[in-house]
Amino acid sequence: MRKTGDRIRHAISFEVIALGLVTPLGAWVYDLPFTDIGVVSVGSATIAMLWNYIYNIGFDHAMQRLVGTTAKTVPIRVAHAVLFEGGLLFVLAPFIAWYLQVGLWHAVVMDVSFSLFYLVYAFVFNWSYDRVFPIPEWQTQDEAAG
């Protein structure tokens, strides 16, 4: 399983790269000031970073208990990303509505569009991260299988 330092590196790098992509894209798509989308993006990223850390610990512990490993197949990666974004939507929509002074439905639509972006992004980022920073447990399993 991943160590605390690795989880922190994962969470921070995930959010920093995402902010660099989503802030200008969101300002353009929603025709809102860059600063407003920037505040929503940074606030959402802060909440998401905390959720990411907590969620991934819980998910890994559940995988370890249920299947005996934290190695993820493609279907598990899809479930991982969908469950992560579903939990985050529940928390972020009220924040977006409040800050941008829009209705909750409008905020949900905005959040769902961001979630769709993050769904794809999370899948690609996590798969890439696992390739760049594999954990020793997986290398041992690969050697045993080969």
pLDDT in tens, 9-26: 998 899 899 989 999 999
List Cα–Cα distances, 42 to 38, 53, 60, 95, 128, in angstroms: 6, 16, 26, 12, 23
Q: With residue 31 as reference, give the H or E element that holds it.
A: none
Q: What is the pLDDT of residue 118?
A: 83
DSSP label at 133?
A: S
Dihedral sign, CA of 82, 29, 110, 87? positive
Phi, psi of 15 (to 5 degrees): -75, -40
> pTM of the entire structure?
0.64
pLDDT in tens, 47-56: 888 888 899 9
Q: How many domains does the chain have?
A: 1
Q: Is the pLDDT of residue 146 over 60?
A: no
pLDDT in tens, 101-121: 999 999 999 999 988 888 899
Contact 82, 123 (CB under 8 A): no
Torsion of CA 135, 7, 75, 83, to 10 degrees: 160
What residue numbers bound the domain in which 92 lies?
4-145
